[in-house]
Chain A
Amino acid sequence: MTPRVVFPNKILPYLLVAPQLAITLIFFYWPAGQALYQSMLKEDPFGLKSKFVGLDNFAKVLSEPAYVNSIKVTIVFSVATAAVAMGVALLLAVMAEKVVRGKGFYRTLMIWPYAVAPAIAGMLFLFMFNPSIGSVAILLRRLGIAWDPVLDGTDAMILLVVAAAWKQISYNFLFFVAGLQAIPKSLIEAAAIDGARETKRFWTIVFPLLAPTTFFLLVINTTYAFFDTFGIVHAVTGGGPGKATETLVYKVYNDGFVNLLLGSSAAQSVILMVIVIALTAIQFRYVERKVHYG
């Protein structure tokens, strides 16, 4: 039986937690409470007239076709971004393992893009893929591809996914490299002696053993695509053409700050808050506990 550690002083422990509590209260509970309160009001932008409307804003938001569209856009965007970012990162990590000389240098280069801010990444891709002046766009046109992200919703979505995934590849790469290093070489060597080829070895040994890393990254990447890509959407497409790339987070901004519909915007952010809480709960309850092969 382990003895319980008890502070001799009754107040000290509270004092020690106080700064953290204060930060959480000020930076999380207070704004979250404000959002919740705002989401039940119908108000003009200046707050001169406000009316309590209960859950009206939520009912309106959820019955709005634009909101349903925005959910679809977010799912397509998040799944594609996570898949591309993780797929490419895994491929690069596996390949990096094979590099004999200059491994460290190669890996360092791979990590750099992570230091680029989302809005900057967005601008970079915007320039490269700009239909009239972008170098990549000109290349695409020479190849006979009608590239037009300004009017074609699919092209715009591809552009966003590429820009968002590019930024996340470095992060994923780092974790995959670490995951790969944790796999005992003896297992792979044993399989090789048994006559398993490289592809077979990857799918039967390496990939399953990477599962904890993969699941962890899946949650991280989905959260990233959901919530951290505002800067990219804002810089690259602004939600257009039409509403083809209006993600949930972008819609919160657009309805709140451009259209000045504060109640609706607040209701949407409360819904997003619920989604974040759910995603985090899933991560804690299932991913961290159940995915263990080691």
Chain B
Amino acid sequence: MKFHAFAAGVAATLTLFTTTSAFAVTQISWWHAMTGANAEVVDKISKDFNASQKDYEIVPVFKGTYPEALNAGIAAFRAKQAPDIIQVFDVGTGVMMAAEGAVKPVAEVLEGAGMKFDKSQYLPGIVGYYSKPDGTMLSFPYNSSSPILYYNKDIFKKAGLDENTPPKTWNEVWDMAKKIKTSGAAACGYTSTWLTWIHLENFAAWNNVPWATNQNGLAGGTPELEINAPIYVNHFQKLADLAKDGTFKYGGRTSEAKQLFLAGECGILTESSGGLGDIVKSGMNYGIGQLPYDSDAKGAPQNTTPGGASLWVFGGKSDEQYKGIAAFFAYLSQTDVQEYLHQKSGYLPVTLAAYEATKKSGFYEKNPGRETPILQMMGKEPTENSKGVRLPNLPQVRDIQNEEFENMLAGKETAQQALDNAVKRGNAAIKEATGG
């Protein structure tokens, strides 16, 4: 008797509970990989969105590093427990694109909610990268960055270089790096994070040379790498030569080299614009320049390509959820939200309006260098070589390239051998992945 009453009570409460939550708010899960200041931005944006309306609730969940978040998403999808929105880094874009049926293009999500996606409002370089060849936008650009050059003004002064003139071309970088080294101003002249992203993918775009066939893989099919062309070989042979006496110093495959620059060991650094925060925090006397280009390349500099991450929507969710996601993306596109995201996190604004507003506010005068990555990306209409690169297995191909670079910098291979091997091994891996 007692038990029955209790059970009935529980059932009633449960029904009440589930119905109220279903009618009141639709929860939308958002898996992300942001840490530190960038995680605070995620939380604040979610909180503000939730407060701005009553129908939907964004629930951000931190899922580890970029690769960890992607893997968590994949595992969840396989277990039929996929989140609604997942943040995937640039390298994983090809992986997500190949997963047709698992994801729902952002363009469809917005249209389904009766909204129109107006491309002209967004930075073309960024939108192009996250779209299909036919122009359908697949994911929502959340945080974008681009590689730029940083230099230590104190070291420049000590080496007898003009502290207000950063190098423009790679030849100037080599010369200045040598001067820094020989003058004893610093132990090493130049270092760089992310060799694959900066010295291959962006090198190709910035100098307007192909990285792979099939429009650098954007057109699909089974692309073949073209990174052993003479312009790359010359570039990397220079790096290898400078590495011999320590004028160029290798830090590691990802952003380790930033430490070499922060410690004052190297005078010049090429790094993501997203790395600015740490450099500002260190309190060093730094300057910013555009990413250097190859003076032998015709029409360089062209434009750089975006790194960072975008938001993907999983398929198989309810209409109500898709409406909520669309509302959230519309909110994210608002000028003040974009302005906040750009100024606080150091990532690029994705809408032109947010860029103009930031410009008008005098932010760039107070924070010189923050505009550099935007100018680099917007300078010219992207060509077939400069829209970015895409492979279903880009992480694996980058791994191969890094291994060959390490062999080259250790003096085991010449630049020609290393790049030939990278092409051969990379192409075999691509063929395996596309089944072509």
Contacts and interface: CB of A to CB of B under 8 A. Distances in A.
Tell me, yes or no, whether A binds B.
yes
B8 interface: no
Interface residues of B, number: 32
Contact of A257 (B67, B102, B402, B409): B67
A261 to B, nearest CB: 7
B399 A132 contact: no
Contact of A259 (B256, B263, B395): B395
Given A133-B259, A240-B402, A259-B396, A45 B250 contact: no
A150 B256 CA distance: 10
Interface stretch (B71-79, B125-133, B294-302, B322-330): B71-79
Interface string A250-287: 00001001111100000000000000000000000000
Given A240-B406, A241-B410, A44 B259 contact: no
Contacts of B409: 151
Interface in B393-435: 393, 395-396, 399, 402-404, 406-407, 409-410, 412
Contact of A151 (B78, B95, B406): B406
Interface in B222-272: 250-253, 256, 259-260, 263, 265
A13 interface: no
Interface string B90-101: 000001001111
A19 interface: no
A48 interface: yes
B399 A258 contact: yes
Contacts of B102: 46, 48
Interface of B: prevailing SS: helix
Contacts, number: 66
A268 B251 CA distance: 30
A104 interface: no
Contacts of A243: 403
A158 to B, nearest CB: 15
A45 to B, nearest CB: 5
Contacts of A189: none
Nearest to B397: A259
B259 to A, nearest CB: 7
A133 B251 CA distance: 12
A150 B102 CA distance: 39
A260 to B, nearest CB: 6
A152 B393 CA distance: 27
A242 B406 contact: yes
A132 B67 contact: no
Given A44-B99, A260-B95, A153 B67 contact: no
Contacts of B74: 45-46, 260
A211 B77 CA distance: 52
A238 interface: yes
B78 A46 contact: yes
Given A153-B410, A258-B396, A260-B393, A240 B99 contact: no
Given A48-B100, A240-B252, A261-B396, 5 more contacts: A238-B253, A240-B403, A241-B403, A242-B404, A259-B395
Interface of A: 44-48, 132-133, 150-153, 238, 240-243, 254, 257-261
24 contacts: A44-B98, A45-B74, A46-B78, A46-B99, A47-B78, A48-B99, A48-B101, A132-B260, A132-B265, A133-B263, A150-B256, A238-B253, A240-B253, A240-B402, A240-B406, A241-B406, A242-B406, A242-B410, A242-B412, A258-B395, A258-B399, A259-B399, A260-B393, A260-B396
